[in-house]
C-alpha cells in the first residue's frame, strides 16, 4: 500500500479552509465558501483526520448538513 501524501492538504485549499473555520460554521457552507464543494471536501476531511479541524457534537449527525466544524483547540493556531 502506498504511503499517504499531502495532496488532499494542498496549500491553498487547506489554508482557505483553516481561514473559514477559524470561526465555527456548518460543514457544507464552509466547503462552499472555500470554493467548489467537491474540490474542497477531500482537503476538509484530511484536516479533520489530522485533527487540525474538529467536528462539533457528532452525536447529532455524523458529518452531515448540520455538522459544525471549527479549528481544533477552539481557535486559530
Residue 1: pLDDT band (50, 70, 90) is very low
Residues forming beta bridges with residue 26, ordered by sequence position: 68
- Is this prediction's pTM over 0.85? no
Q: What is the pLDDT of residues 58-76, one digit of tens each?
A: 776 677 778 889 999 855 4
All structural domains of the chain, each given as residue ranges with its CATH number in brackets, are 9-74 (1.10.10)
Residues forming beta bridges with residue 69, ordered by sequence position: 25, 55
Q: What is the pLDDT of residues 23-69, one digit of tens each?
A: 999 999 999 999 999 989 999 999 999 999 999 877 766 777 788 89
* Predicted local confidence at residue 63, as pLDDT: 77
Q: How many CB atoms lie within 10 A of CB 52?
A: 17
Amino acid at each position: 500500500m502506498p504511503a499517504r501524501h499531502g495532496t488532499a492538504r494542498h496549500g491553498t485549499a487547506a489554508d482557505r479552509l483553516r481561514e473559514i473555520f477559524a470561526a465555527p460554521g456548518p460543514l457544507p457552507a464552509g466547503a462552499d465558501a472555500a470554493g467548489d464543494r467537491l474540490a474542497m471536501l477531500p482537503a476538509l476531511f484530511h484536516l479533520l483526520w489530522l485533527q487540525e479541524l474538529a467536528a462539533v457534537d457528532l452525536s447529532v449527525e455524523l458529518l452531515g448538513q448540520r455538522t459544525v466544524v471549527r479549528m481544533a483547540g477552539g481557535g486559530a493556531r
